[in-house]
Structure 1
């Protein structure tokens, strides 16, 4: 482990002042960052503890929520408004890790967790462009079963690990950040980057910028939502694929819908093509599957992960069928449970 200094910020202004060093990292719950430091993947010279920042979860005037970046994942999942108006978010958080980790992890830190790609963590023997830019990507042609089928590049095929962020992408969450240049907001759907030729840059954050809050806009049909995670084992495993969805149906037709996928790309994947295909159409299993096919038209399988394409198809059909009030289930085709 590389030696570092530690400072605890008492408030936002002090955190920003302490965080202006070139290799400074902000420390929330530490459930991912500490592992990265221990494995020498991350080598900050200073850690700024920001757990003293706001952890409040408050309703906005418009009926949404503003969530302090230091709020613990458990507190967010258990909040009465989240459970009532945004159940997909509560379920995504509860699917994400053990209770002990959820009790420690912060909302802001969850947004910044890094890929769990084996090659990314193997500092001794693997090439990884995300860890060492320009060194290559051993995942391409290697053990790629868990890797991306959407949005990947010749430089990186890693996937984003967060469950919570998939739900936030479907909910059009807004990330509030502050830095030397002042305050700004970033839509969650654009906050994380696709790899391109710079996979080492996970987000649009500038050096020294600090996440201060996450905002959830109101969603009139948010209570009709859920999150489903398909994984190799029932507990404490990252998603092979996951689906966050909210659905509004009137007279058998889809009036509005929100969909995001996890486990398939370098970032939480907002399924805008599937949404567009569904709006105004029938709420049937056949339509749900056609929407999945439309979204996955550009999917590219690696040697061992082609099964993910059909797994996303079946999981989306199953999730939307469960949310729709009346659906012809005749062609669900063994949808994933």
Structure 2
């Protein structure tokens, strides 16, 4: 949970009275343009940056107060913090030793993320995608209930991104809290249950994707003469806007009603389709189009909240593993 979190660097207010929570059993996308405050927030949550005011907690405690942090929260803020002379297995076993975990967890997590064949390979020879998977393996060593991941899809090829999508759903299906900072908005829309959008250090929107998409569906209508239909729509309380290309956009998702009005008014149609919610479009609308097309990797943050008892997997969320890529149970 983040409560009125603020961080000031000199005269710059990087995070400004930020408050929100991230729910267990869900994947939450953490979004914002460069300089929005995402990374600063994540670092405050993990005790790497001290807040100017406010508090960031995980299960009701600050990160510094956690008696077993690796078993409570798994975090990966970058994919390059590996000793180049260590193998993937050695890297994970060092973390196991530091946290008092059995060494076998290293091999179990390498298998989980599909790196068993690269276990004895030095990390300096790992591709960016392999580094991302090794970082994920490290976050899961202690079987944490909260995962904080910063740009985990960077460097992954299309197959890797598809695997990652299923992996996130798998983790959420186990009742874990997954916070993902990402600039790949289309991918976030595919996998996330919720989104938190920041701009200039402030929260501009948060909620489930269904909540964010409410009222955003638009019907696209094309035909040789749409004037009578536009009048009929207005009479039915449905607003329609004529576009320069001759099409009509109707702010409603009731295609059956629109089709019926066209039929009873003898209006010929070439097209009647529905444009669904677009997270990218919403993002640029809320952030005033700043840094359009830029890499959106700035300040961010995650959840916690008071302990809630057993976290049970929501029904229907555990997707099948694509491309036979391994991910079994994370639990010990």
TM-score normalised according to structure 2 size: 0.24
TM-score normalised according to structure 1 size: 0.24
More helix by share: 2
Larger Rg over CA atoms:
2
